[in-house]
């Protein structure tokens, strides 16, 4: 039986789904000669660690209890009553994770799984790379920091997986890596990588006012608590940056041209969320509707896309043919069109749900399993 020890950082929605998947896949993985051993789980405040790191992980019933505790909004430290673990609290968390990494990283190997949404994990991840650990990320922040951080993480590229940083579980990164390693030159990539903005753009296309669509999207749970986090385009820009860097572009977030769907005067520093939803948005309706109509008069539709072509990387609204994979996109699906030498007239298209905790966790789990050849 091949054992993959792992520490999970972040047990919000994605992290919890991952733990549940790991538990429910026990017999599947076992039939493949594989055992995923969860030796530690942490959030921003606490870390629980197996009390016999080299020999056993946290038990499955413990992991499910942990998911229950976190779902209920309680603290991980509550789990210390449970017996089979030790618990550490901030600020000794990161130090403790690195201690484990140095202790078992070289002996059994270790995967550090980052399902947080924090920029703080990058310190741990950088050091863990030096200690020979593998890293799996759903968190985009460590990959969209400086080029120096990026290069450091990719010092041993085979030990890094991050499928769920772009398009959740959609096989975007895996496919792009295959294209790169087969030497098929990428001409350009264009994609709709925000389920929220995909939904918004296809709804305004039907003539609905932007303000109404955004409010509905918020009610449906499609947006962040402050919808400006989606409408500003920064999340899409991070995804675009990750794709551009995979293609070898040594660029930073600030080299990406980002079109925000709201002006600075309606930013979070100026306006409350409520104000933005009640008043701000209304002022944006006419402009978007004019653009939608102008596009329609050319037989086109508007999509909020990222475009990567050579060293150019842009994020914003584009007018696209109605009869293209992107133009036909409805609802909250993500879609990516990749044009290469092999896919020159018609692109390689990958499409499907690009958000959701379960889908994101599925991508993370597939990444972990895919690292198995590095473990003994």
Size of site (CB under 8 A) for its own copies = 47
49-81 CB burial, b ≥16 within 10 A, e <16: bbeebeeebbbeebbeebbebbeeeeebebbee
Q: Is 109 in the site for its own copies (CB under 8 A)?
A: no
Per-position x/- string for 309-348, each x denoting binding to its own copies as judged by CB under 8 A, each - no binding: ----------------x--x--x-x-------xxx--xxx
Torsion of CA 153, 155, 157, 161, to 10 degrees: -10
Choice from 158, 279, 286, 294 touching its own copies (CB under 8 A): 158
In this complex, which beta carbon is closest to its own copies, that of residue 158 or of residue 286? Answer: 158
Torsion of CA 113, 115, 121, 122, to 10 degrees: 70
Round the CA-based radius of gyration of the chain to a whole number and report it. 22
Catalytic residue list contains 239: yes
Half-sphere exposure of 60 (CA within 13 A, CB side): 10
Q: Is 106 in the site for its own copies (CB under 8 A)?
A: no
Of the residues 239, 286, 294, 322, which is catalytic? 239
Cα 67 from Cα 138, distance rounded (Å)? 18
In the complex, the smallest distance separating the C-beta of residue 274 from its own copies, rounded to whole angstroms, is 32
Stretch of 118-126, 173-181, 224-232, 265-273 lying at the interface with its own copies (CB under 8 A): 173-181
Cα 30 from Cα 39, distance rounded (Å)? 18
Q: Is 14 annotated as a binding residue?
A: yes
The helix (run of H) or strand (run of E) holding residue 123 is: helix 121-130
In the complex, the smallest distance separating the C-beta of residue 313 from its own copies, rounded to whole angstroms, is 22
Q: Is 363 in the site for its own copies (CB under 8 A)?
A: yes
Q: How far apart are the first and last CA of the chain?
A: 9
Q: Is 260 in the site for its own copies (CB under 8 A)?
A: no
303-338 CB burial, b ≥16 within 10 A, e <16: bbbbbbeeeebbbbbbbbeeebbbbebeebbbbbbb
Q: Is 25 in the site for its own copies (CB under 8 A)?
A: yes
In this complex, which beta carbon is closest to its own copies, that of residue 111 or of residue 122? Answer: 111
In this complex, which beta carbon is closest to its own copies, that of residue 28 or of residue 80? Answer: 28
Q: Is 91 in the site for its own copies (CB under 8 A)?
A: no
Q: Is 299 in the site for its own copies (CB under 8 A)?
A: no
Q: Is 12 annotated as a binding residue?
A: yes
Q: Is 163 in the site for its own copies (CB under 8 A)?
A: yes
Cβ contacts of 60 within 8 Å, gap of 6 or more: 23, 26
Give me the active site residues, please.
239
The binding site for NADP(+) consists of 10-15
Query: Which residues here bind its own copies, judged by CB under 8 A?
Result: 21, 24-25, 28-29, 32, 157-158, 163, 169-171, 174-175, 178-179, 181-184, 325, 328, 331, 333, 341-343, 346-353, 356, 358-359, 362-363, 365-366, 369-370, 372-374
Residues contributing to the annotated binding site for L-homoserine: 224
| Residue list, annotated binding site for NADPH | 140
């Amino acid at each position: 039986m091949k054992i993959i020890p792992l520490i999970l950082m972040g047990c919000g929605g994605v992290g919890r789904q991952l733990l549940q998947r790991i538990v429910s896949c026990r017999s599947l993985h076992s039939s493949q000669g594989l055992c995923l051993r969860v030796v530690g789980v942490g959030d921003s405040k606490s870390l629980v660690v197996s009390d016999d790191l080299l020999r056993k992980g946290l038990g499955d019933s413990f992991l499910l209890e942990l998911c229950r505790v976190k779902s209920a909004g309680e603290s991980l430290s509550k789990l210390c009553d449970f017996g089979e673990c030790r618990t550490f609290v901030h600020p000794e968390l990161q130090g403790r994770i690195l201690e484990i990494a140095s202790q078992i990283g070289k002996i059994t190997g270790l995967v550090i799984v980052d399902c947080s949404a924090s920029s703080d994990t990058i310190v741990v991840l950088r050091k863990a790379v030096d200690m020979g650990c593998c890293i799996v990320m759903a968190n985009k922040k460590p990959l969209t920091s400086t080029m120096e951080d990026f290069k450091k993480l990719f010092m041993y590229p085979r030990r890094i997986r991050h499928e769920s940083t772009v398009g959740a579980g959609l096989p975007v990164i895996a496919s792009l890596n295959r294209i790169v390693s087969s030497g098929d030159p990428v001409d350009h990539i264009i994609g709709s990588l925000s389920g929220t903005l995909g939904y918004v753009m296809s709804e305004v296309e039907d003539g609905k006012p932007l303000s109404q669509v955004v409010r509905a999207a918020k009610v449906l749970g499609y947006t962040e608590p402050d919808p400006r986090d989606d409408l500003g385009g920064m999340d899409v820009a991070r995804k675009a940056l990750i794709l551009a860097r995979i293609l070898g572009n040594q660029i930073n977030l600030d080299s990406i041209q980002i079109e925000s769907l709201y002006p600075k005067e309606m930013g979070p520093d100026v306006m409350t969320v409520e104000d933005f939803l009640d008043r701000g948005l209304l002022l944006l309706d006419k402009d978007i509707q004019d653009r939608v109509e102008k596009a329609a008069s050319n037989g086109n539709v508007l999509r909020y896309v990222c475009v990567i072509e050579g060293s150019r990387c842009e994020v914003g609204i584009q007018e696209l043919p109605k009869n293209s994979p992107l133009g036909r996109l409805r609802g909250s699906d993500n879609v990516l069109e990749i044009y290469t030498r092999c896919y020159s007239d018609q692109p390689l298209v990958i499409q499907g749900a690009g958000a959701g905790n379960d889908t994101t966790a599925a991508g993370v789990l597939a990444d972990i399993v895919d690292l198995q050849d590095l473990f003994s």
